[in-house]
Chain A
């Protein structure tokens, strides 16, 4: 069934969109990732204009994060104070990101920027995840030799910073500058790449800020809701690129997929799941990279006239 998207102004198969949303939903349920970093490039591949894909994806992430954060609030695994500090950084970052996005759109380089960001981040994350899970599998096979690596505690330069405050839920006494900076960079990414940024924020919170793992996911979801909501509003008011119909279709698929994925995830082994995800991330990254590295068949592209 073809459906005409009023803002993207293209006609797409509705079941394809439901399917994509569902597939990414399954992945996000299985791995606990937002899935934005996979869904946005997939939307590029099926012909949604990148500007619309990025803005709409931000809107869709609001929905998936909201249902996630409800569960975490109930379990009291959200550090609200840390969340608010990250959020302040995030809002500034999102505002900056939308400005950069608009500037590059006028220059005709927005596709390049978005694609470059994806290639770099997907490449890094995919490779890290792949190596990490291979190591876990090897360790579980030779359990006698392997000892679990101890958590490192060298955060000297972070603890030397001023404006220290206590984050009770996380059990940390820390300067507000590092979380502000983490929030800022994630905000910029959210606006430019149309992702929640969880896949960058979660490692940053664990390894840079030293937050306990159990509060990390809830707190990052809490921050992501507000930052992506803000990015959606900015995109809607400055670029008019949020497509409600597209968002709703992806949302329906995503919500159902997430529940299916959560059940599938229990049955499969975590290491193999992660290798699977890493392979997918690297595949998407590779596809985007080849488009940048090899001569395209059509050298010319048409775009709406700039300056408005």
Chain B
């Protein structure tokens, strides 16, 4: 099945030859559906390097794969001890930070890409965040806190060495999306590097959507809040009445 997909990917992906090497890739799925029993999803990313010239004599090829979730504004708050209790005091508004961000590479990050190339393409986690909130964050601490908290929650992932590259041609990796995903379009980027410089890149989307009942409830709650509220109450009252009726029946039945 995977091989078939790979062949399909190779045939279908538009080839834009910019250099001597180019990348074609495919995903195990282009759509993630958040259903009632959604518990995260594993995305398989695979691809191949197309060459229009013999293998260059420069350093070995490296591959970087990133997945970036939709940006959302964010408030970061810091707790401090006031009047003997720990409460939120300072806060910083971040205009937009990705709700999910994963980077997978073939080798340790500093062996894959230079600092300047990282800055240009916004690849590492701190770069991906800083690029969108320039001038908003006063202190380094708050950005670091965002990265620390989201890394602990599995929302930001640095997966060094998670991409396998075979014969400088075929590569594949898998990235786990956690259960608490935000809806939206997730951007997948693939970079090929040689001698720490990006030589080719490729971009595609994964669409993450709530479906079925989840979709229905979410839309109703946000677009028709009054009806949603009344419906919640109706369900509650029906359940309360139903329960007492059922148990009364059981008790008198015995």
User: Once the chains are docked, how many angstroms separate the CA of A298 from the CA of B38?
Assistant: 28
Which residues from A are CB-within-8-Å of B35?
4
Q: A108 touching B91 by the CB < 8 A rule?
A: yes
Q: B235 touching A11 by the CB < 8 A rule?
A: no
- Asked whether any CB of chain B lies closer than 8 Å to the CB of A304, the reply is yes
Give residues of chain B (120-151) contacting chain A, Cβ–Cβ below 8 Å. 141-142, 145-146, 148-150
- Asked whether any CB of chain B lies closer than 8 Å to the CB of A237, the reply is yes
- Beyond A236-B228, A248-B235, A300-B78, whether A67 also contacts B38 by CB under 8 A is no
**Among the listed A60, A111, A236, which residue makes an inter-chain contact with B225, where contact means beta carbons less than 8 Å apart?**
A236
Which residues from A are CB-within-8-Å of B79?
296, 299-301
Which residues from B are CB-within-8-Å of A251?
236, 239
- Beyond A6-B217, A11-B39, A232-B229, whether A108 also contacts B244 by CB under 8 A is no
Q: B221 touching A301 by the CB < 8 A rule?
A: no
Query: Chain A interface mostly helix, strand, loop or mixed?
Result: helix
B-side interface size class: 35 or more
Q: B34 touching A70 by the CB < 8 A rule?
A: no
Give residues of chain A (231-263) contacting chain B, Cβ–Cβ below 8 Å. 232-233, 235-237, 240, 242, 244-245, 247-248, 251-252, 255, 258-259
Q: A7 touching B218 by the CB < 8 A rule?
A: yes
User: Once the chains are docked, how many angstroms separate the CA of A138 from the CA of B239?
Assistant: 42
Q: Which residue of B lies closest to A292 (CB)?
A: B85
Q: Which residue of A lies closest to B237 (CB)?
A: A66
Q: A236 touching B221 by the CB < 8 A rule?
A: yes
- Asked whether any CB of chain B lies closer than 8 Å to the CB of A170, the reply is no
User: Once the chains are docked, how many angstroms separate the CA of A236 from the CA of B218?
Assistant: 12
- Asked whether any CB of chain A lies closer than 8 Å to the CB of B77, the reply is yes
- Asked whether any CB of chain B lies closer than 8 Å to the CB of A137, the reply is no
- Asked whether any CB of chain B lies closer than 8 Å to the CB of A268, the reply is no
**Among the listed B75, B210, B225, which residue makes an inter-chain contact with A306, where contact means beta carbons less than 8 Å apart?**
B75
- Asked whether any CB of chain B lies closer than 8 Å to the CB of A302, the reply is yes
* Binary contact readout B39-51 vs A (1 if CB under 8 angstroms, 0 otherwise): 1100000000000
- Asked whether any CB of chain B lies closer than 8 Å to the CB of A280, the reply is no
**Among the listed B40, B142, B240, which residue makes an inter-chain contact with A65, where contact means beta carbons less than 8 Å apart?**
B240
A206 → chain B closest CB, angstroms:
25
User: Once the chains are docked, how many angstroms separate the CA of A53 from the CA of B182?
Assistant: 19
**Among the listed B142, B221, B240, which residue makes an inter-chain contact with A300, where contact means beta carbons less than 8 Å apart?**
B142
Which residues from B are CB-within-8-Å of A128?
none
Q: A59 touching B233 by the CB < 8 A rule?
A: yes
* Binary contact readout A1-44 vs B (1 if CB under 8 angstroms, 0 otherwise): 11110110111000000000000000000000000000000000
- Asked whether any CB of chain B lies closer than 8 Å to the CB of A216, the reply is no
User: Once the chains are docked, how many angstroms separate the CA of A248 from the CA of B34?
Assistant: 19
- Asked whether any CB of chain A lies closer than 8 Å to the CB of B15, the reply is no
Give residues of chain B (85-107) contacting chain A, Cβ–Cβ below 8 Å. 85-88, 91, 93-94
- Beyond A7-B217, A65-B240, A67-B244, whether A108 also contacts B75 by CB under 8 A is yes
Q: A9 touching B236 by the CB < 8 A rule?
A: no
**Other contacts beyond A9-B180, A247-B235: 15, CB < 8 A:** A4-B39, A10-B180, A59-B236, A62-B236, A63-B237, A236-B228, A236-B229, A252-B239, A255-B239, A293-B85, A296-B79, A298-B145, A300-B149, A303-B76, A305-B94
For this complex, 19 residue pairs linking A to B, each with C-beta atoms less than 8 Å apart, are A4-B36, A4-B37, A4-B38, A4-B39, A7-B221, A10-B179, A62-B240, A66-B237, A108-B75, A236-B225, A244-B221, A258-B243, A259-B247, A298-B145, A300-B78, A300-B146, A300-B149, A302-B145, A305-B73
